[in-house]
Structure 1
């Protein structure tokens, strides 16, 4: 994972102080300054220390408040009656504590020391807890002070939940909410997934959705694990063009090849991507980008645009019958339409070849008819199998369509003769399960449009989402 330090934007404030860390992932093995008698063992077992030290004479008189007196006892052998061996191996730390203080602040510690199965041991091993996080927990229990940083906030949150200290957990969530940005979202997302925290994961994913391009350009993106990469690529709500997202995924694959000590060849990059590769929506990419992809993507790849749409995808077909043949000479097929309600068009269904399996190149557009304004387009391609089915061709981003405004759907195909539709409908109405009706009305587009009309031609299908 990428280290998130001063440049991460996760700065400390009066209530939250940053704790230095030697590990970007866990924030473990922290040597806290100004903490008396704290030791980091040099071997697998920390050195054994006496349970009590000679008391400091009249130290109480130097502390003017209860908080100061308890804060003085934090991580101090003075009056301690229990020790915790926290962490594993060389990173383990032996931390003195006071049962009364811990039991007063945590129901888990209360049960540990005073419950029906209370421990009688004066030394308790916690190998699955990170020392920095445990010290943050104890400091809070002794003084109400919050010492967390970008590298330790998730482990501190996990520890606060583990020992039932909701006030510290709330501080951790507040810290993430306040300081979460696109350039550290992937680092925090990886930690949130490691600690199985759905609340923080959701906050990170929302930030990535809103600022995807900035997030994938941050150093932390190439450090995420494959499962986290897949969790992001599965999302429909990323705000980035597929070409740019694919470029970022290639950078991740190169970094993963380096981690696995593999040459960054095309074959190895595909190998390390594994289950992430089918989540790239190649049908949304420009045709000129495909030479970088080997093997060439086929229709099995997802073609749904990444957008903030919700609800069910819908489509209408304006023809009642399919015939052959329809030829192409570089002229666009066009049909004008308006619609009764606000929608977002995400693509067209087009007819394919009458000669078996064929690849087409195609430019699709939607224009506002009266203003001759292009609202959306895509230079892409599609493969067909020789049947009379329609084949989906999608825009890179949804195109918003307003009610009772005239628009023109346009498709310019390069390829052999295709099927085409006949017995076209001037008006097509679709009703949702909730009873909401959406009506399309079609008109012939004036000028040279390769012969497509209301009655015959191409662009049989419009794929869309309702927006109201």
Structure 2
């Protein structure tokens, strides 16, 4: 069975299996074929390595299986009838091989040696192939052994695809799946984009979504190119607060300035960020975080600073040039439950929070609430939403935001900047503090609401009145009619 190891397979041509000793070896030696000189020019040729070996007497008798005998011939001049010059310049290597073995394992090699336009050369140049990846391919063809590591797996996968060896390609994908971590996700994503491998790119992006903070703190994050950075920043599914993401982007900009040999000034960081800067969702930051981070950093333009402060402080809000859509690291079907059976008017606000306690039968992530809007036509509200763990009085998530309503009795979505994980059978409190005119409100509330998914999975919410001043909201009447969530199990 093939095994994955940390050795990249970058052995020199003399680094092959041990030669068995025998006192009669010199008397019964078998002559090896002379290998023709390289057809490369002297300026492009790699160093000539000592490819010839002393003839080996009866080596076959020391190998008890077919696999051992073919593995012994891997990267060995013994009986070889073809050479490959792999790589470019000083990194190039001459690698001996055997046409029969290669043709038996790869349709591409079979066509190369036996097809209608078969090569007659005894030395083939492969400047666009990495030596380590090519040696991994040959080792697999000779022995079924897989020697790859996180640094070489993508080049090995690309080479396996290039030479039509799907079994090795499958091993590479399996290796990535098994060893992919937040710490190496950006390194592997960069390679996957270079080799245009959508499958591995998707695996890497999923890992980055689930562990964004760990991934952007890894060394590989600052090594990615601008297009990869933009591809990540465009995602709605990152699980990180926007101010922390901005800090990571600033670190990337500093590294990019260094790569371009530019002083890491605010102006130069703006320059290297270019099209990535508008992808930072500054409106998702709190009004307290914005001055302490982005504004002080000098990495956003003065007019953008003005627009952002207007976004936070005036109503109606001006349109922000940066995206204000919340990010959340969730997959699958978005769900919502409405706890009221009827809508009435009117419900007033005096600075006190509407609150309702609840627990849930299964693990979910709440991403927002649906709230009732004005009874007076089109209106803008400012609102603070929160979820607290009731017994510990611990705030798990909040957002200072706003919403526009059209005067109907519909609910209007107000989202958290990050999903809030809710555990089964734990008491939580949903809070909403609205500033605006009188609104609609719900009546004939349900104490228990069960929703069944398409797959038959049931999620049950149980509601309780929140003690203290809750602006009148209860199980039977009030605000916070709708909870928007995703199932996590």
Contact 1:285-1:380 at 8 Å conserved across structures: no
Deviation of 1:93 (Å): 2.1
Contact 1:236-1:308 at 8 Å conserved across structures: yes
Contact 2:365-2:488 at 8 Å conserved across structures: yes
In 2, Cα distance between the equivalents of 1:427 and 1:95?
71
Contact 2:16-2:76 at 8 Å conserved across structures: no
In 2, Cα distance between the equivalents of 1:10 and 1:376?
51
Structure-2 change in CA distance of 1:2 and 1:178 (3 Å): closer
Contact 2:316-2:380 at 8 Å conserved across structures: no
Residues 220-279 of structure 1 show CA distances to partners (whole Å, capped at 9, x for unaligned) of: 121122333333334444443333333222222222222223333334334433443344
Structure-2 change in CA distance of 1:265 and 1:414 (3 Å): farther
Contact 2:53-2:77 at 8 Å conserved across structures: yes
In 2, Cα distance between the equivalents of 1:97 and 1:443?
75
Deviation of 1:133 (Å): 0.9
Contact 1:354-1:418 at 8 Å conserved across structures: yes
Residues 304-330 of structure 1 show CA distances to partners (whole Å, capped at 9, x for unaligned) of: 544453456578999999999999875
Q: In terms of mean alpha carbon deviation, does 162-171 or 273-282 score higher?
A: 273-282
User: Structure 2: which 5+ residue stretches go unaligned?
Assistant: 293-313
Structure-2 change in CA distance of 1:217 and 1:142 (3 Å): same
Contact 1:9-1:181 at 8 Å conserved across structures: no
Q: What residue in structure 2 maps to residue 353 of structure 1?
A: 374
Q: In terms of mean alpha carbon deviation, does 31-40 or 238-247 score higher?
A: 31-40
Q: Are residues 1:318 and 2:339 paired? A: yes
Contact 1:284-1:396 at 8 Å conserved across structures: yes
Contact 2:9-2:132 at 8 Å conserved across structures: no
Length-normalised TM-score, structure 1 = 0.67
Q: In terms of mean alpha carbon deviation, does 313-322 or 113-122 score higher?
A: 313-322
Deviation of 1:114 (Å): 0.8
Deviation of 1:179 (Å): 2.8
Q: In terms of mean alpha carbon deviation, does 228-237 or 121-130 score higher?
A: 228-237
Deviation of 1:99 (Å): 1.1
Contact 2:160-2:166 at 8 Å conserved across structures: yes
Mapping of residues 333-348 of structure 1, within 5 Å? 345-348=366-369
Contact 2:13-2:51 at 8 Å conserved across structures: no
In 2, Cα distance between the equivalents of 1:18 and 1:205?
44
Deviation of 1:337 (Å): 9.1
Deviation of 1:129 (Å): 0.9
Deviation of 1:34 (Å): 21
Q: Are residues 1:24 and 2:29 paired? A: no
Contact 2:381-2:404 at 8 Å conserved across structures: yes
Residues 40-75 of structure 1 show CA distances to partners (whole Å, capped at 9, x for unaligned) of: 999423367999888556555665554444334333
Contact 2:20-2:59 at 8 Å conserved across structures: no
In 2, Cα distance between the equivalents of 1:180 and 1:28?
52
Q: SS of 2:246's equivalent?
A: helix
In 2, Cα distance between the equivalents of 1:54 and 1:18?
12
- Size of the aligned set, in residue pairs, is 468
User: Structure 1: which 5+ residue stretches go unaligned?
Assistant: none
Q: In terms of mean alpha carbon deviation, does 125-134 or 383-392 score higher?
A: 383-392
Q: In terms of mean alpha carbon deviation, does 320-329 or 197-206 score higher?
A: 320-329
Q: In terms of mean alpha carbon deviation, does 376-385 or 140-149 score higher?
A: 376-385
Q: SS of 1:136's equivalent?
A: helix
In 2, Cα distance between the equivalents of 1:302 and 1:26?
77
RMSD of aligned residue pairs (Cα, Å): 9.1
